[in-house]
Amino acid sequence: MPDSLHIDDAGRAWSISQLLNSNRPRRVIATAVDYLWSRWACERRWGDSLPSPARLTAEPLFLQDFTQRHDRPIAFGDTIEDHTARIVSFVKAIEAAETIQPVIIGPDGYFWDGMHRLAALYLLQIPTVPVLDFASAFQDEETSCSLEDVFEVSWLTGSHAQLVRQQFQTAEPYNHVYLANILRAEVADSLHAEYGMLPWRLAETDFYEQYEIALLDCVAGSLGPWLKHLRRVLLSFEFSRAISKIVDTPSLRVGDIACHRSTPGQQIGIHTDYSDNAESCRLTIHFNPNWSTDEGGLFVVFAGGELKSASAIYSPKHNTAILFRISPESFHAVTPVESTRERYSMVVSMVPN
């Protein structure tokens, strides 16, 4: 494999082999794979024309090659096909019990080398990876991503989890469940405050218009501390296992996290979210303090593609959520926002792993 390069903030190119052969102090530490992934896989590393590693691993091409373990030729180029091939090759190597070299944290405390290896380890849910650390400051940082940090865990893993699972599995016209107080109250309030500072971008399709931010493909500096921490927890193995158990689907992982902002008059027409990206389910979290029904923005479940088939209506009240299974029959919509303020939500999309 050609020698890897790291371009630092000053635009200087560092040879990884030269770094390894230098006399710079270093140590090898075992670090949680999901922590490293959540911290460094959400920024674009392979050029502005390609998605971040976290988003790339939810692309239809990647999901197909990963599931079927396709062999693609590796050219060490910046294409989705090539990065897919490199990650899948490491997946197969790990499954064959081959030795995987440590990933590298450079002298500046940034992730310098090993993203393809890290992606493979994350997809296989390997708990830890050796890190060759050239930055002593990295040793002292908080590396945990526990559900208890942000969630009221009773509905995920505690006393109410079985009831939530039963409600989800028996709901009509398709599997879904409405949840209240899913986050710690102070966390939900902090996230609502940080939403107001996001650099929103208008998104338009044939059935909706709203403002969005993709948390798995954005610059970390644009996010507040609680959004970054929530993203870390959502990308943890613990969260994926908890959701997989509720929806009774083995081995799911987060494929996308999107912040949504709907302004007065905006709505989302009837749709299913079913597509070729193999998405299994979605968790939609709401951040709207003191929201009343007459302010609109209601989440409506339909038994079919027509308005007359409406089956259930849920308010986007603060710190509530809807978990629902994606299928060709998962029809739903959001009514027009009638309020004079914005409607905030977060959509967490789960894909098979």
CATH of the domain at 262: 2.60.120.620
Q: How many residues does the chain have?
A: 353
Tokens of 230: 């929530």
Task: Return the SS3 of 169.
Answer: helix
Helix axis angle for 237-247 and 225-234, nearest 10°, is 60
Do both 37 and 60 map to the same domain?
A: yes
Low-confidence ranges of the chain (pLDDT < 50): 1, 140
Q: Last residue of a domain, which of 140, 173, 202?
A: 140
Do both 195 and 296 map to the same domain?
A: yes
Give 205-255 pLDDT, tens digit per residue. 888 899 999 999 986 678 999 999 999 999 999 999 999 999 999 889 999
Do both 201 and 234 map to the same domain?
A: yes
Angstrom distance (rounded) from CA 235 to CA 229: 10
Do both 295 and 191 map to the same domain?
A: yes
Do both 88 and 163 map to the same domain?
A: no
Q: Last residue of a domain, which of 94, 118, 140?
A: 140
Range of the domain at 15: 5-140
CA 170, distance to chain mean position in Å, is 27
What pLDDT score does 332 carry?
97
Do both 151 and 99 map to the same domain?
A: no
Do both 153 and 291 map to the same domain?
A: yes
Q: What does the DSSP assignment read for 241-298? A: HHHHHHHT-SSEEEEEEEEEEE-TT--EEEE----TT---EEEEEE--TT--GGGB--
Give 63-99 pLDDT, tens digit per residue. 999 999 998 899 888 999 999 999 999 999 999 999 9
Whether residue 121 contacts residue 94, with contact meaning beta carbons closer than 8 Å, is answered with yes
CA 304, distance to chain mean position in Å, is 29
Neighbouring CB atoms inside 10 A of 84's CB total 24
Number of independent structural domains in the chain: 2
Do both 156 and 136 map to the same domain?
A: no
> What residues pair up with 177 in beta bridges, in sequence order?
323
pTM: 0.92
> What residues pair up with 211 in beta bridges, in sequence order?
202, 261
Residues whose CB is less than 8 angstroms from the CB of residue 241 and which lie 6 or more positions away in sequence, other chains included:
none
Angstrom distance (rounded) from CA 270 to CA 332: 5
Residues whose CB is less than 8 angstroms from the CB of residue 291 and which lie 6 or more positions away in sequence, other chains included:
297, 315, 316, 317, 318, 339, 343
Do both 208 and 336 map to the same domain?
A: yes
What pLDDT score does 140 carry?
46
Angstrom distance (rounded) from CA 334 to CA 353: 29
Do both 207 and 286 map to the same domain?
A: yes
What pLDDT score does 35 carry?
93
Do both 115 and 78 map to the same domain?
A: yes
Q: What does the DSSP assignment read for 8-58? A: -TTS-EEEHHHHHTS----EEEEEEHHHHHHHHTTS--S-TTS--HHHHTT
What pLDDT score does 340 carry?
94
What pLDDT score does 353 carry?
85
Q: Last residue of a domain, which of 90, 122, 140?
A: 140
Q: What does the DSSP assignment read for 184-210? A: -HHHHHHHHHHHTTS--EEEE-SSBEE
The strand order across the sheet containing 332-334 reads 268-271, 332-334, 299-302, 310-314
Closest CA to 343 of 297, 298, 285, 300: 297
Largest CA distance in the chain: 72
Do both 51 and 162 map to the same domain?
A: no
